[in-house]
Structure 1
Amino acid sequence: MAANRLCTGCGVCAYLAPDEVRMVDVLDHGRRPLPVLPSAPAGPGATAAVDCCPGVRLAHDSRRAEPGEIAALRPAWGPVRRVWEGYATDPAIRYAGSSGGVATALAGYCLTGQGMAGVLHVGARADVPYLNETRLSRDPAELLAAAGSRYAPASPADRLDLVESADGPCVFIGKPCDVAATRMARRVRPALDARLGLTIALFCAGTPTTRGTLEMLRRLGISDPTGLESVHYRGNGWPGRARARLVEDQPGHERTLSYQESWGEILQQHRQWRCYLCADHTGEFADVAVGDPWYRPTGDDPGRSLVLARTERGVRLVEAAIAAGVLALDEAAPTILPASQPNLLRARGAVAGRLVTLRAAGLMTPRLRHLPTARMWWRHLTVRERLRSTVGTVRRIRRKRLREPAELIPYGEQRRPVG
């Protein structure tokens, strides 16, 4: 799947087949699975892992809203039971978070208020801070240290073994595709299912490759990333600025770019191809999903989060965190979701045109079940946007060489600048 560019980089295959698959960073593609032994044929573990691959398929059990769900949101946004807007009451968490710090605060409450054993999430590698690593945090301080978006390749599902072997229930935080993979994996691994206390998805418009981060660093005046002390993509206000520090920089000095400069002008141009085919940008398979309320004007603001409870477990734990004073959330009307994320609604519609075009060209596409895209294509895209989703895909087939297998050369351990 990775060579055919359907891989999302979630890492679930490395969890399910650790003796056969390892995850590596590929500069222009993202986190990708490679055989542990290059010459060895795929074994039973790797074959089984394909069944849990969110790059290959995504499926809801039903098209219809279940009792307790908001029926009007189901076609475009998946299962939603409650909608809130608000923030973490701890000002440090709120300030460090990408919007209102809700994901960090809720996960921390699960540790301190619900007795959960850990939180599986990603953070910057200490030795190479522009790359990510998966970690199991066991206290709120560790979570706070990793707060804020990481607009770089990450594969948090590769260490679901840490959840499976934990001494109590754990929280999982990841992108929508990571959570979808975890949901499929828990169905085939009862021990994992027993240890997943809560899944939190972060709204996602696509994962930039490591090449994107290096381009952002160059814009910040850093041509050699080996001297980096830290890299942050958002946070310290909403939407926050991209920030980087070199070890040699004076105390208090940071090189910064605005969100528009970092994401709008650089990072989104480097999203992996599979993200252009994604029908789930808002974590439809999670217990709780958190994103930005973009209907609000941005500026010098400490931040607020849009919060969706998608399951009864999600409703219960969010309400418990509100009652404990950890979250300050106000219930919101369902219409706040499409008002906050119109770009993601159009992105889902564009998927329909891309999939039809790719299939007509004889190329592989993901299988989607009960995640409708065609009606979004008709209702929410202009004529020009519909043409772009089809004609633009024809051009991308040639420009991105989609008929050729992707060249997957590991980058992960390299520390030298790449041009």
Structure 2
Amino acid sequence: MTPSPTLSRVLKGELCAGCGLCASVAGDAVTLELAEPGFIRPRQIATITADAECRIARACPGAEVAPWGDGANVHPAWGPLGTVATGHTTDDRLRHAASSGGMISALLDHALTSGTVDAVVQTRADTIDPVGNMTVISTSPAEVEASAGSRYAPSAPLGAVEDLLAGTTRYAFVGKPCDVSALRQLGTIDPRVAERFPVMLAFFCGGIPSRAGSHEVVRAMGYQPPEVTAFRYRGNGWPGEARATRADGSFAEMNYADSWGAHLSKHVQFRCKICPDAVGGVADIACADAWYGGESGYPQFDEAAGRSLVIARTPAGERLLASAVAANGVVIEPLDPREIVLMQPAQQRRKALLVARFAALSVTGQSWPRVHGLRVLQAARLASIGLSLRNFLGTARRVMQGRK
């Protein structure tokens, strides 16, 4: 077996995002498995064809990240900006069940009912291992809404992308920014992507924790993972609480500040810590929590009626959002882009520190994804010299100690 140059580089550098695209593109030559401490990773089991290697090298978000383009209205932290607004679904039940304002679910519902797409590719709780995820194809609003809510666990929504491209169904795709990047990049060499996926949605991503992180949350609730028959990371309120349920119907809950802040965020994979586009810059529409924080510069997680930040980035995204508003599926209020940082300060900070972290990788002989056209140098100006230096030294120290 001849090792894949792309997979070898990505896995050695701990740059894999776990999207699953390589396994689908390579066919039987690559399989996906859950590797310690609980991340989805590819394993090559046969020689990959030259064509498949080319496709993987082009699309893998651990090798290359889709550029934002050269439009005039591109913010170095927030990406291409069309319509920028806050809003929520008009369905109060869905708004309560979803992680924030239910915007993504409502847009997907509208894409289906308006005939824009025939089906939706999305992520849902695994029916066998409830803290984990599975990819599903939804064809009705009820199925879409069954997947509402954040899932802070590894997912591989592109694990069957070749099968989807081979058919005639038009899909809306919703995934992590790295998943959408992979699909966009694949589209630069495969015209079927634009035909099969006329709608791509993403959410601002704080990083993907390992399965071990989820199990830590369960144990902190007082349960053991095998006891859990259902697990919700967020929802039923904003931000909502994590809930682990046992077979007898008993359950335990944990607030968002503890589940994410005290546990899950400490188990995020390395690729996420150097992500150049965690805001879904190449999606048609990107959504996020429109946290209240004001001039404090840090979001407040007090329970409230859900509110989403929504950014339409492409003509297709503008059309879908306008159509959903006209159909009274969602309501929106214009937002000054300068206010985004008050809602998502951690996202700007991460992007601003990327150059420092890349520099640390360079001096320690590590690699990182190609990031052309992502305003990385411009974003670096948003961080102080002192903060950048501390991140450079901290990243270098962790790499040398073998604890990325």
TM norm. shorter chain > 0.5: yes
Number of the residue aligned with 2:377: 374
Structure 2 segments unaligned to the other structure (5+ residues): 1-9, 294-299
CA shift, 1:339, in A, is: 2.2
Q: Give me the whole-angstrom Cα distance separating, in 2, the residues matched to 1:234 and 1:45.
A: 41
Deviates more, 1:170-179 or 1:392-401: 392-401
Cα deviation for residue 20 of structure 1 reads 1.4
Where do residues 177-188 of structure 1 align in structure 2 (5 Å cutoff)? 177-188=178-189
**Offset at 1:356?**
0.6
Of 43, 53, 67, which aligns to 1:47? 53
Q: Secondary structure at the match of 2:198?
A: strand
Q: What is the SS of the residue equivalent to 2:150? A: coil
Aligned twin of 2:400: 398
**Cross-structure match for 1:81:** 82
Amino acid aligned to 1:122: T
Secondary structure of the residue aligned to 2:393 is: helix
1:355·1:365 contact (CA, 8 Å) conserved in 2?
A: yes
- Alpha-carbon separation, structure 2, partners of 1:143 and 1:162: 21
For the residues of structure 2 that align with 1:349 and 1:362, how far apart are their CA atoms?
22
What are the within-5 Å matches in structure 2 for residues 124-143 of structure 1?
A: 124-143=125-144
1:316 alignment counterpart: 319
Deviation larger for 122-131 or 305-314: 122-131
* Residue-by-residue CA offset, 1:86-105 (whole Å, 9 max, x unaligned): 10111121111111010011
- C-alpha displacement at 1:82, in angstroms? 0.8
Q: How many residues align?
A: 388
Distance in 2, matches of 1:395 and 1:156, equals: 34
Does the 8 Å CA contact 1:117/1:166 hold for their aligned counterparts? no
312-321 or 114-123: which moved more? 114-123
1:363 aligns to what SS in structure 2?
Answer: coil
Change (3 A) 1:246 1:45: farther
Matched-pair contact (CA < 8 Å) for 2:284–2:312: yes
SS of the aligned residue for 2:27 comes to coil
Deviation digits for residues 137-170 of structure 1 (CA, Å, limit 9, x no counterpart): 1111111111100000011111223532454321
- Identity in percent: 35
Q: Offset of 1:376 from its aligned partner?
A: 3.0
Secondary structure of the 1:136 match is strand
Q: Which amino acid aligns with 2:62?
A: G
Which residue in the other structure is 2:95 paired with? 94
**1:282-361 counterparts in 2 under 5 A?**
282-296=279-293, 297-361=300-364
**Partner in structure 1 of residue 36 of structure 2:** 27
Q: 1:322 to 1:272 in 2, by over 3 A?
A: same
Code of the residue aligned with 1:393 in structure 2: it is T
Letter of the 1:247 partner, please give it: A
Deviation at 1:265, TM superposition (A): 0.3
Shift of 1:291: 0.2
Q: Which amino acid aligns with 2:399?
A: I
302-311 or 357-366, larger mean C-alpha shift:
357-366
Q: Equivalent residue of 2:186, what SS? A: helix
Q: CA deviation at 1:60?
A: 1.9
- The aligned counterpart of 1:410 is none
Is the CA contact (8 Å cut-off) linking 2:66 and 2:185 kept in structure 1?
A: no
- Contact 1:230/1:246 (CA < 8 Å) preserved in 2? yes
Paired residue for 1:56? 63
Distance change in 2, residues 1:393/1:29 (3 Å): farther
1:175–1:401: structure 2 CA closer, same or farther, 3 Å change rule? same
Q: Does 1:280 align with 2:286?
A: no
Residue number in structure 1 paired with 2:236: 236
Q: Structure 1, residues 52-107: CA drift from partner, whole Å, max 9, x if none?
A: 11111124264x324xxxx2x52222111111111011112111111101001101
Structure 2 residue aligned with 1:262, among 259, 262, 265?
259
d(CA) in 1 for partners of 2:403, 2:301: 38
CA RMSD in angstroms comes to 1.8
Mapped to 2, the partners of 1:155 and 1:305 lie a distance apart of: 25
Task: Provide the secondary structure at the position in 2 that maps to 1:163.
Answer: helix
Give secondary structure in 2 for the equivalent of 1:369: coil
Aligned to 2:118: 117
1:242-257 paired onto structure 2 within 5 Å: 242-248=242-248, 250=249, 253-257=250-254
Whether contact under 8 Å (2:66, 2:184) holds in the other structure is: no
Residue 133 of structure 1 aligns to which amino acid in structure 2? Answer: M
Moved more, 43-52 or 96-105: 43-52
How far does the alpha carbon of each residue in 1:87-129 deviate from its partner, in whole angstroms, 9 at most, with x for none?
A: 0111121111111010011011111122521100111111111
In structure 2, the residue matched to 1:387 is: 389
Distance 1:336 1:220, change over 3 A: same
TM-score normalised by the chain length of structure 2: 0.91
Alpha-carbon deviation of 1:28?
1.9
Q: Is the 8 A contact 1:13 1:50 kept in 2?
A: no
Q: For 1:54, give the aligned amino acid.
A: P
